Structure 1
Amino acid sequence: MTLAPGLRAQLLIMVEVSDTAQKIGSGDVPVLATPRLLAIAEMATVNAVREHLAPGETTVGTRVELAHLAASPVGTHVQITTELTEVDGRRLVFGFEARDKRTVVGRGTIERVVVDRAKFLDRATR
């Protein structure tokens, strides 16, 4: 495992109807849903470290802090950038920011823990 602060990843999405609060059920407006924003930010954290994990390892989310600051209607392009800011043993802390062409849409931190995939799944299915 070669994890060190500074690892980064970016994802660019266009908000689709399937991404909206109305569709997901987290609200009744046709803008990017907060749970969807979080899911995309988590995808970016996974992408940032995937190539740096040992065979058989993965990461799982353990803590999130998210500020959803602006609405993004259908058709808006949103770029999510994440950076690994802290490595404490198996604990990883990422900062992330989501932006459209006008403003910061959201920001926050995501904590993940490195686990052995097989052992984790074995414990989870008992």
Structure 2
Amino acid sequence: MTIDAGLRAVVLIMVERGDTAAKIGSGDVPVLGTPRLLAIAEAATVRAVHDHLAPGQTSVGTKVTLEHRAASPVGTHVEVTAELVEVDGRRLVFEVTARDSKRTVATATIERVVVDRERFLSGLSG
């Protein structure tokens, strides 16, 4: 399979209490926590390329730059869109945007690398 720039995926969430900075320990306010936002953004990148990887391949995150611009309280719907903007061999670069109904909540650049799942996991032992 080939992976080309332009692949996209969207993840839509409603902020729940378990997503908040106060609940996950990244702060003490009841708004979408940055670590949770990052996890959702990474999930969108995985979803964007999942069906385009060869059997036995997966991708792993290697670099993130995230700007969390606006707070999202419990009950807010946030749409996270990941678009693959660069393919350099096994290296994939995504631009990610998170928006609520009024504004951009966050922007990010996320890099992933395509790896052979078995070889990657075998390198962990020992």
In the superposition, the TM-score normalised over structure 1's length comes to: 0.98
Pairwise mapping of residues 94-105 of structure 1 onto structure 2 (< 5 A)?
A: 94-105=94-105
Cα distance in 2, alignment partners of residues 97 and 91 from structure 1: 20
**Structure 1 stretch 116-125 or stretch 56-65: which is displaced more?**
116-125
Residue deviations 1:69-116, cap 9 Å, x none? 000000000000010000000000000000000100000100000000
Corresponding position of 1:51: 51
Total equivalences in the alignment: 126
Residue deviations 1:11-45, cap 9 Å, x none? 10000000000000000000000000000000000
The Cα RMSD (Å) is 0.6
Secondary structure of 1:52's partner?
A: coil
Corresponding position of 2:122: 122
User: How many percent identity over aligned positions?
Assistant: 68
Corresponding position of 1:5: 5
Q: Which ranges in structure 2 are unaligned for 5 or more consecutive residues? A: none
Output the amino acid matched with 1:65.
T
Report runs of 4+ in structure 1 exceeding 2 Å deviation.
Answer: none
Corresponding position of 1:112: 112
Output the amino acid matched with 1:38.
L
Cα distance in 1, alignment partners of residues 120 and 45 from structure 2: 19
Secondary structure of 1:124's partner?
A: coil
Report how far residue 124 of structure 1 moved.
1.7
